[in-house]
Amino acid sequence: GIGGGVITDITGYTASVYMRGIRFGFVPTSILSLVDASIGGKNGVDLGDYKNMIGTIRQPSFILHDVSLLASLPDSEWVNGFAEVIKHACITDLAMFRQLESHTVADYKGSKKLLAELIRRNALIKTRVVQRDEFEKGDRRLLNFGHTLGHAVETQYELAHGEAVAIGMTAACHISEELSGFKQTERVTSLLGQYGLPTYADFNRKQVFDVMTMDKKRDKKAMNYVLLEKIGRATVQPIPLKKLEKIIQALD
C-alpha cells in the first residue's frame, strides 16, 4: 500500500482477509502514516459513524520509509501529521516535547536530517510499544491519548484526523486536571497551537458522547480513558459512563 493512513488501513485490512491472509507491506507517504498509521498492524475501516469498527490486527511484511516522498505534501498534511508526534511526546517523551517546543513545522520541512530523526524517533516509540503489547491489553492503550473523543468528533464533523486528535488531546488534558492532577494543560495546548492544530470545536456534546459509547475502549459501564499525570507520563483510568457524560457536557 503506497499512500497515507487511509491507504495503509484499506490495504492491510484487504490483505489480511483475502484468501485468509496474504503478505503485504507499506510505503507511507504522509507524516501521519510514517509515524503512526503504518506501524502496529491495526487495519481498520469505519462502519457508519463509528471509527475503525471493522478490522484486523496483522503485521505488514515490511514498511519502507522515504522522507523524500513528503516533498509534495500540502501544508495541511504536515500539520495533520504532527498531532500524532505531539501525542507521542505527551505520553512518553518529555525530551521530544521540549524539542518540539523549540522548533516549528517550517524547521522540519526545511531540514531533511531533522525530519528524518524525528520520524525515526516516533517510529521507534510506537514499534517498541507494539512489540510489548501487540493486542492492546496494556501499554498500547496509551497510544489512544486524544483518540476517544477525537474519533467521535472526527466522524461527526468531517475533520482531518490530526485536527480531531488535537481537540481530543485538549479535552483529555482538561479531564486529566480533574482526575489525575495534571497541571500542564496550557503547555500542551500552546504546543498544539504552535504547530497549527486546533484545540477547540463547538461540537454537540450529546451527539459526540453517544458515538463515544461505541468506542472499542469501553468496558461495560466504563470507558478506559487515557489521561496525563505529567508531560511524558500517561495512564489509563476507567471512567464510569455516567460520570464521563457529565464531564463531556461540562467541557469548555
Phi and psi angles of residue 60, each rounded to the nearest 5 degrees, phi first:
-70, 155
Rounded CA gap, 114 and 239, in Å? 39
> CA 138, CA 136: separation in Å to the nearest integer?
6
| pLDDT band with cut points at 50, 70 and 90 for residue 177 | very high
User: pLDDT tens digits, residue range 55-95?
Assistant: 999 999 999 999 999 999 999 999 999 999 999 999 999 99
Cα separation, 77 vs 73, in Å, equals 6
pLDDT in tens, 104-161: 999 999 999 999 999 999 999 999 999 999 999 999 999 999 999 999 999 888 899 9
Asked if the model's pLDDT at residue 197 lies above 80, the reply is yes
Q: How far, in Å, CA of 250 to CA of 105, rounded? A: 33
Q: E strands along the chain, which residues?
A: 2-3, 25-28, 42-47, 50-57, 62-63, 218-219, 222-230, 233-240
CA angle 250, 166, 91 (to 5 degrees): 95
Measure the CA–CA gap between 57 and 21, rounded to whole angstroms: 11
In the residue annotation, 147 being an active-site residue is answered as yes
Whether 151 is a known active-site residue: answer yes
Concerning whether 136 is annotated as a catalytic residue, the answer is: yes
Residue type, 20: R
DSSP string, 51-102: EEEEEEE---SEE---GGGGGG--HHHHHHHHHHHHHHHHHH-HHHHHHHHT
131 CB-side CA count, 13 A: 6
Per the annotation, the verdict on 103 as an active-site residue is: no
Domains of the chain, by residue range, sit at 70-250
Tens digit of each residue's pLDDT (9 = 90 or more) over 29-60: 999 999 999 999 999 998 887 888 899 999 99
Out of 43, 88, 136, 217, which one is annotated catalytic?
A: 136
Which residues fall within 8 angstroms of residue 177, CB to CB, at 6 or more apart?
183, 185
- CA separation (Å) from 153 to 1, 2, 69, 147, 200? 27, 27, 30, 9, 11
| CA dist list (Å): 69 to 66, 91, 94 | 6, 28, 29
Look at the chain and count its residues: 252
Active site residue 20: yes
Query: Which residue is catalytic, options 51, 87, 88, 151?
Result: 151
Selecting among 43, 51, 84, 122, the annotated active-site residue is 84
pLDDT score recorded for residue 217: 84
Q: What sign does the CA torsion over 191, 226, 175, 230 have?
A: negative
pLDDT at residue 231 above 80? Answer: yes
Q: Report residue 235 as a C-alpha cell.
A: 495512564
* Active-site position among 51, 87, 161, 217: 161
Catalytic residue, candidates 87, 147, 154, 217: 147
Using the predicted structure, report yes or no on whether residue 249 has a pLDDT greater than 90.
yes
The verdict on whether 161 is a catalytic residue reads yes
User: Which listed CATH number (3.90.950.10, 1.20.1090.10, 3.40.605.10, 1.10.3470.10) goes with 70-250?
Assistant: 1.20.1090.10
